[in-house]
Amino acid sequence: MPFFSMVNYIFLFPFLVYAVISLFASIFTAFKKLDFLALFALPFIFLMLHLSYGFGMIYYMIKD
């Protein structure tokens, strides 16, 4: 079933790209501010920010 394994990679690719960009943004911010706690906290903060914004937008689109 090579088709299904290819589909898994297609759906996994955007999440991997998001994780890499989030990690680079966290590293850049941590070194810029000299706050190395941010290196560990910011990826989770970015994820929560984007998920809450996305779910809120979808909720209000469905609600109306």
**Is the pTM of the predicted complex or chain greater than 0.85?**
no
In angstroms, the Cα distances linking 35 to 59, 60, 64 are: 35, 36, 42
pLDDT number for residue 1: 55
Q: Give pLDDT, residue 7.
A: 74
Domains of the chain, residue spans: 18-63
Q: What is the pLDDT of residues 42-63, one digit of tens each?
A: 999 999 999 999 999 999 999 8
Model pLDDT, residue 36: 87
Per-residue model confidence (pLDDT) at position 2: 66
DSSP per-residue letters across 22-57: HHHHHHHHHHHHT-TTHHHHHHHHHHHHHHHHHHHH
pLDDT in the model for residue 18: 94
